[in-house]
Structure 1
Amino acid sequence: MTCIIIDDEPLAVNLLESYVSKIEDLKLLGTFNNPLDALKLLRETPVDLLFLDIQMPEITGVEFKKIINPEVKVIFTTAYSEYALESYDLNAVDYLLKPITFQRFLQAVEKVQEKPSSVQPEENVNYIFVKTEYRHQKIVLSDILFMKGLSDYVAIQTKENKVLTLQNMKDFEQILPKNRFMRVHKSYIVSFEHIEFIERNRIVIEGEYIPIGATYKDAFWKAINGE
């Protein structure tokens, strides 16, 4: 997987460069202190992944993300937490806060490597594969009760157990059949099949009370009422 680093701080570039060198699956094509200098490479050479600082003098990382090929995956690297929400709105793979540890860097790269297909599966597909620890686990869709976002992980609660994966909630929103699953809160995706009852804007599944977020409430009730 090819990558480039854009950061106006030389020490930050050096650190990321050292991290990239430790991962065999990453090939560094170049480093840049000014994002505008990276445009020529991005236009002429296929690049899979971009490690992109946000706060830079001439153009911010957020502004730069909006003008490059959307197929290039982006991991934001910054010292400022206030940009996190906007970065996810831009479909960034991850958002790393400086100082960045190698473990956290590795988690972000694994999200790129294991990112599931954005193609909606056929309605007759009845399972998915998710990466958990060192294996890809097959999970039958009818066994999934709900999914819960936990910081850097997603916990998939099935009838039998709980599976933890580094894949994110947006990924699962894309690959799960929309007639069977729905995101009802920033931290929850539920299976319609396993809803026992709804009480005071809370969904109950196997004794778990799941809140319905204000952002998702209208769409949820429309789905429940068959609209």
Structure 2
Amino acid sequence: MSVIKCMIVEDEPFARKVLQNYIHQFEHLEIVMEAESSEQARDYLNLHSVDLIFLDINLPGTDGVAFYRSLKNPPKVILTTAYPEFAVDGFDIHAVDFLLKPFSYDRFASAVNKLFREIKQSETFKAEDVIFFKSSKRIYRVKYESIYYIEGLGDYVSVQTMDNKIIVHETMKDLEFQLRGYGFERIHKSFIVNSKHIEYIEGNQVSVNGRLVPVGKAYRHNILSSDNML
């Protein structure tokens, strides 16, 4: 495993010191930036990339979750806070873990090991270039490149591939997160498309494997700025 570049965003000096001490005990973690506010963190991220943020929720003038949501390409995040009621925010932004202050080294290590497992799983998926979908009693192994588009159907989604259509009990938001970095773009509240299969854009529609898919006004910038369309 390569070195994971970490940022600490924490306004309390003692809390930063605790994180420093804990992080230094993991050879695969490296602190590249410590910020006392979201403004300092944003200034750094505008010029540099990090792999992980240890993010305090209660920051001067804002809250950490709102800051994280505002990032265009957010890295992985482990939330820290003294208030357990904010745990639900961690699930909402797919945080690796939620550390309730004051947390022990063992609890911190548990969060980091969870991160390592996620990275290892992600690297395995990337190496195989596949994703797994559970539909009814079956689990389908699907290559990313074989997916044309995904259509939202209320509490379900329809995954249209080169071979078949798979109905999955999943949300568009969760799938958008899972497919991030694999060439997929959310272009409508009900559609995620594989940019590699877009044939052309015409007005407020794109053609994907012969089907015209609508482009929502709020998502138009996604398709126009996609690296796969340049």
> What TM-score comes out, normalization by structure 1 length?
0.54
Q: Residues of 2 paired with 1:121 and 1:27: CA distance?
A: 25
Whichever residue aligns with residue 64 of structure 1, its letter is: F
Q: Which has the higher helix share?
A: 2
Q: Which residue of 2 aligns with 1:46?
A: 49
Q: What is the total number of aligned residue pairs between the two structures?
A: 140
Mapping of residues 175-194 of structure 1, within 5 Å: 175=131, 177-178=132-133, 181=134, 192=137
Q: Residues of 2 paired with 1:38 and 1:120: CA distance?
A: 29
1:15 counterpart = 2:37? no
Cα distance, 1:96 vs structure 2: 0.6
Q: Residues of 1 paired with 2:29 and 2:93: CA distance?
A: 23
Secondary structure of the 1:36 match is helix
Mapping of residues 15-94 of structure 1, within 5 Å: 15-94=18-97
Q: Quick one: which of 117, 120, 124 aligns to 2:122?
A: 117
Residues 46-86 of structure 1: CA deviation (Å, up to 9, x unaligned): 20000000012211001111112434111000011111112
Cα distance, 1:121 vs structure 2: 10
Q: Residues of 2 paired with 1:23 and 1:38: CA distance?
A: 23
Identity of aligned residues (%): 38
Q: Residues of 1 paired with 2:62 and 2:117: CA distance?
A: 30
Residues 81-103 of structure 1: CA deviation (Å, up to 9, x unaligned): 11111221111111111111111
Whichever residue aligns with residue 57 of structure 2, its letter is: I
Structure 2 residue ranges without an equivalent (≥5)? 140-154, 157-166, 169-230
Whichever residue aligns with residue 117 of structure 1, its letter is: S
Whichever residue aligns with residue 111 of structure 2, its letter is: A
Mapping of residues 197-208 of structure 1, within 5 Å: none
The structure-2 alpha-carbon separation of the partners of 1:25 and 1:120, relative to structure 1 and needing over 3 Å to count, comes to: closer
Q: Residues of 2 paired with 1:69 and 1:104: CA distance?
A: 30
The structure-2 alpha-carbon separation of the partners of 1:45 and 1:120, relative to structure 1 and needing over 3 Å to count, comes to: closer
Cα distance, 1:109 vs structure 2: 1.3
Contact 2:68 2:74 in 1 (8 A): no
Cα distance, 1:13 vs structure 2: 0.6
When the two chains are superposed, the root-mean-square deviation of aligned CA atoms in Å is: 3.0
Mapping of residues 104-143 of structure 1, within 5 Å: 104-115=107-118, 116-117=121-122
1:101 counterpart = 2:101? no
Residues 145-202 of structure 1: CA deviation (Å, up to 9, x unaligned): xxxxxxxxxxxxxxxxxxxxxxxxxxxxxx5x32xx36xxxxxxxx8169xxxxxxxx
